[in-house]
Amino acid sequence: MSAFSRAALAVLTAVIFTADPAFAKSQDELFLEAQKAFKNVQYATAIHAYEAAAAAAPASDTALRAEYEIARSFYYQWDIDTAITRFTDFVSKHSTHALAPRAQKWIGDAHVMKNRPDEALTAYAALVRLYPGDALVAETKYAIGKIYARKKEWQKAIEEFESVLSGQPSSWVVPQVKEALKRAQEGLSTGK
């Protein structure tokens, strides 16, 4: 189904739900239905419900959250390129929204899933640059370090891991970073 068709269906669904009192559902009810479908691994149903929720009040914060959740739904149904496009659009349009750093992280994660390490590095670096105080920075630097380690660029990996330890020492990811740092140091010393 094309993006236009999905958007038209979402608007039509929202009109039907809001025009007929027997079907009238609030934006929050539609959003909760979408979350339930997502939780039940019914991603196509979730996408339609999120689109209906967004169409019910397009300027609301719930509509923005629905946009984000639509992108996640595409990711989880393995439509990774559509997810990247949706997350990129979200960050582009709503760069100051609280979910923008998470959307940027998903862009990097999606590129990792598609085995595109250079694109992932670019996406992750954008998160670190644009949202330096966000809680995701430590996890993102860890992801950057892992990519460099896979590429056997040991010094760059070590620098990323050390920046997590010095900049975010209380992050949940620190134990994994310490292990990855040891492996990167071994790789640097052995050349393997």
- pLDDT value at residue 13: 52
Rounded Cα distance between 72 and 66, Å, is 10
Listed in sequence order, the DSSP H helices in 57-113 are: 61-76, 80-93, 100-113
- The verdict on residue 10 lying in a domain is yes
Q: Retrieve residue 139's tokens.
A: 């996890």
Collapsing DSSP to helix, strand or coil, 49 comes out as: helix
d(CA 78, CA 41): 12
For residue 121, being part of any structural domain is answered with no
For residue range 113-126, what is the model confidence (pLDDT) as tens digits?
A: 999 999 999 999 99
Q: Which domain holds residue 70?
A: 1-77
Contact present, 50 and 35 (Cβ < 8 Å): no
Span 164-182, pLDDT tens digits: 999 988 999 999 999 999 9
Does residue 21 lie in a domain region? yes
Please give the tally of structural domains in the chain: 1
- One digit per residue, the tens of pLDDT, for the chain of length 192 reads 565 555 555 554 554 444 444 356 888 899 999 999 999 999 999 999 999 999 988 889 999 999 999 999 999 999 999 999 999 999 999 999 999 999 999 999 999 999 999 999 999 999 999 999 999 999 999 999 999 999 999 999 999 999 999 998 899 999 999 999 999 998 888 877
Taking the C-alpha atoms of residue 91 and residue 89, their distance in angstroms, rounded to an integer, is 6
